[in-house]
Structure 1
Amino acid sequence: MTLFLVRHGRPLVVPGEPAATWELDPAGFDEIWALRDRLPQGAAWFSSPEPKAVATCQLLTEGEVGVVDGLREQERGSAWVDDFEGAVRRAFAEPDVPAHPGWEPLARTRERVLRAVGSVRHVHAGEDVVLVGHGTAWTLVEAALTGAQPDPDRWARLGMPAVVALPEPLLSSG
């Protein structure tokens, strides 16, 4: 069994609107389609409910996709943050406090996302699973499932889209 964590494609950024409502940028569709051959079409597929994640799924598979609310990204409100990367790095450094007004503490994001991933892994034990979601959430999941610390530098380098494959032997009991 391999767990595939797919980060959504490039969004159409709308300042003043919550990132959770952003759609995909059609200019990035080719980058998403290029990932199709790296993902098992016969796997169990699940997506965050955010439009950019659902649309990424629709471009990657013809199969059924379950939408799992717990896979959504860290809640960040609608306020524009000029130093977004700095705020996310603060969230990693101090996960128990909001890194910016209106942001969900990263520890809460981690609990929610890991609970959702754990449920999917339990139901689909022994199967390949593809989860389509978000960079911060997947950074937390990858760290927890491999026994590592979340790496904000790795988060910063993660593309849109991107795939992280975690084969069963690399996964801890997380």
Structure 2
Amino acid sequence: MPTYQEFRQFCKNDHLGRAMLADPARAKVREAVMAGASDALARAAMRWRVGNAYYSFLREVYTVVELRFRGVELQVHPLADALFRVDCWTENTAVSLHVENAKYRNGPSQGRKIPTGRLLADLQPPIDFKDIALKPASVFGSVHLPVSAQLDDTAAALSRGR
């Protein structure tokens, strides 16, 4: 997997990277500046959002690989993530990974993001839900991953659910 810095270089130097990512991001920054934001603030906000999305992707891939390594058979699909906030699932359990944040998501009821369990509560037949909650990162510019104990506990819980 490329580092975030390598990913940024791809977006900057590769024709496809510019067309898919860098050019649309620059257009949104210009739009924010035209709406009154400072250029520095708009660029920093875009960098923050892109970095968060990239590190989130790395965190999800790492988690799935580690859980599979622990013997858990998992399924993954980008639409399950985008539409239902399900990062992966087993036969009857949806798994969601998130970093706790009081404004975004912190436990089952705090924050603006609806937890997966509430979002899919009426699903028939019903399924179980497993959250992997990470405390906020303490280092800027480094991917924030679940620790081995969290992955071990999650693998054990998912294996019991079979």
TM-score by length of 1: 0.29
Higher helix residue share: 2
Q: TM-score of the superposition, structure 2-length normalised?
A: 0.30
Higher relative contact order (CA 8 A, sep 6+): 1
